[in-house]
Amino acid sequence: MDSKHSLEMLSAYLDDELSAADRRQLEAHLSGCADCSGALEQLQALRGRIGAEASRHAAPEYLRHRIHAALRGEPARTPRRAALRRWPWAWINLGLAGAATAAFAVTLTLYLDQPSANERIEQELVASHFRALMPNHLADVASTDQHTVKPWFAGKLDFSPPVVDLAEQGYPLVGGRLDYLQQRPVAALAYRHRQHILNLYIWPDAGGHAGAPQAGMRQGFHLLRWTQDGMQYSAVSDMNPQDLAQFAGQLRQKVARADAQ
Q: Can you list the domains of the chain with their CATH numbers? A: 1-55+89-114 (1.10.10), 117-260 (3.30.200.100)
The torsion angle over the Cα atoms of residues 146, 147, 148 and 152, rounded to 10 degrees, is 100
β-bridge pairing 221-228 and 184-193: unpaired
* pLDDT-based confidence at residue 118 (cuts at 50, 70, 90): confident
* pLDDT-based confidence at residue 12 (cuts at 50, 70, 90): confident
Q: Is the pTM of this model over 0.85?
A: no
Lowest mean pLDDT among 52-56, 187-191, 237-241, 249-253: 52-56
Which 8-state DSSP code applies to residue 191? Answer: E
Q: What is the pLDDT of residue 244?
A: 96
Does the structure show a pLDDT above 70 at 115? no
In the predicted model, what is the mean pLDDT of the chain? 82
| Residue 20 neighbours by CB under 8 Å, 6+ apart | none
pLDDT-above-90 percentage for the chain: 41
Is-contact 97 46, C-beta < 8 A? yes
Does the structure show a pLDDT above 50 at 204? yes
Q: What is the pLDDT of residue 93?
A: 60
How many residues comprise the chain?
Answer: 261
Does the structure show a pLDDT above 50 at 21? yes
The three-point CA angle 106-108-111 to 5° equals: 110
Q: What's the whole-number mean pLDDT along residues 158-172?
A: 95
> Which is nearest to 121 in space by CA: 229, 50, 223?
223
Is-contact 161 150, C-beta < 8 A? yes
β-bridge pairing 141-142 and 196-204: unpaired
Is-contact 251 213, C-beta < 8 A? no
Of the chain, the end-to-end C-alpha distance in Å amounts to 92
Is-contact 227 211, C-beta < 8 A? yes
Does the structure show a pLDDT above 50 at 103? yes
